[in-house]
Structure 1
Amino acid sequence: MSEHPKFHLPVMLPVRPVATSTACLVATLSSRWGLLAILSGLALCLGLEQAWAQQDMAAFSIWEAIVKWTPLIFWGTGQGLGGFVLNIWVSVLAMTIGTCLGLMLGIGQVSPHRVLRWPSWAVTQLFRNSPWLVLLFYFMMLLPYEIRILGFSVPFSGWFKATVALSLPVMANISEIVRGAILSIPTGQWESAESLALTRRQTMWRIILPQCVKRMIPPWMNWYCILVMSTPLISILGVQDAMTLTQDALAAEGRMELLIPFYLWLMLWFFAYTYPIARWTRRLESRFAVKL
């Protein structure tokens, strides 16, 4: 028989004893580098804790400044209208004036008489394509500070001039909304009114315009929101609105870290005012929707 080749089996060496975790900790502490690492870790933790404390104090200081200046920015100084309330008042008054004038211009644009149609179209295009800021400066310089009528002086404050200036582009855009809504009514409505022997004025106010309401509400509300967002432009003219008072508060504090929080806080006010209007507009659309 042939002999089998001889194989050398591996020999297992004895296992080196492994130090326990307690022994490793003692060895680390006993070495200089380990002690230095522990001290560095403690210093880092203390530094982070102090930084977090400073950030908490800074955040608290920012909120404290916001709370302190919020009444002034919202109500103003108490001497007449001012602050965010003035922005809302200017937007409501300008929208009211612009809507009334725009309704007349819109009806004039669809008038069969050229004497009314062409001037209405020209005024609409003029103020519709004019920059709002230019109109603000123009009317601020054009209108006097006061006029005398029968011995009585009627003052023209800065916010009133700004209201008149803002109402003009609103008037032009409302005029286009009214014109488009009137032209969207089917011609059968006009023919039916004519068959009932109604005059054009009666047809417009009793038949056509009531049907235009549901068509005009969404763009009308949209333009009101645009107008509200544009009211901070009046701060350039020195009117004591929310933007002007916010800038005064920042100048009084003299802290750059308050710049973003203050303007963000003011932006949230405008959002909180306009967003419910947008939701209400959707409800009105559903309410006035025509079900065929």
Structure 2
Amino acid sequence: MKDNDKIDDTFLARWLNNELTEKELSDFKNSEDYVAYKKIAQKSTLFRVPAFDETRTFEAIQHKIYHQNKKVKKLVPNWVYVMAAAAVLVFGFFLFKEDQTTITCGVGEQLAYVLPDGSQVELNGNSSIIYVEKKWKEGKRELDITGEGYFKVKKGSTFSVTTKEGKISVLGTQFNIQSIDEFLAVECYEGKVKVENKVEKTILTPGKGVKINQAVKQNYIVTDSVPNWKVNKYNYNAIPLKVVFKDLQNVYQLKFINNGVDLSKLYTGKLLKNDINKALQIICKPMNITFEVKEKTVIISQ
């Protein structure tokens, strides 16, 4: 955009809403900063704003923008800072480390994120992904995940998600991954999903799921069209307590202190969503677990 152009306070809002005139849009697209800010707008989508350090996030965005331009650093027009400030409001926690990008979703939050190829991931609370953008530009669609995420993958080259418990590969599909300490659950909603661990390989088709708990595999049928957590419904069939308590932590936004409870024990039942004490009673009583609630902290003992 030309330096002598006057940008009013509504310029960016009109751009995001496709309300610029042809001349304004043409001048904007010809500016050196257009690519960087178009990318910010495409990647920033969030269900609700999590708590985060605004200064740190803003500095990370500015750092990213700086390294996208290899020329001598120049003065940035005022509208650029407005755009960066707007991005802070819609980003989750982003960490840029060289070419590595980390996206983190806090406890009790849900975060939607657009990957470099246009594929989408929706992260459940207390989850994160890591990827190297340079590899994606080379056609290698790879990322690591900790926690739980629902993916909508665009068709193209192989799309791979690595967890500590195994690797999931697809071409174009919709699937959910949950990975927590030696437990891995993968559900396929569209297309085909390949799940591999150190022992074997499983191919999932729509309506099929597999869970691997401490190297023991079990296939199951998926009856819903989206993961349970997306519709706030939690039912369990022989699921480790560590998974159950992580879900409870996200639903009620609580901190847990474990005093000797074996979280590898399997639980069958449901999670009540509107009463923390009743929810804990339903889970803990059949498992012979005692609990104490202190404000936003739950202490479980056995």
Which has the bigger relative contact order, CA under 8 A and spacing at least 6? 1
Q: Same fold (TM over 0.5)?
A: no
| TM-score normalised per structure 2 | 0.19
Instruction: Point out the structure with the larger strand share.
Output: 2
Larger Rg belongs to = 1
| TM-score normalised per structure 1 | 0.20
Instruction: Point out the structure with the larger helix share.
Output: 1
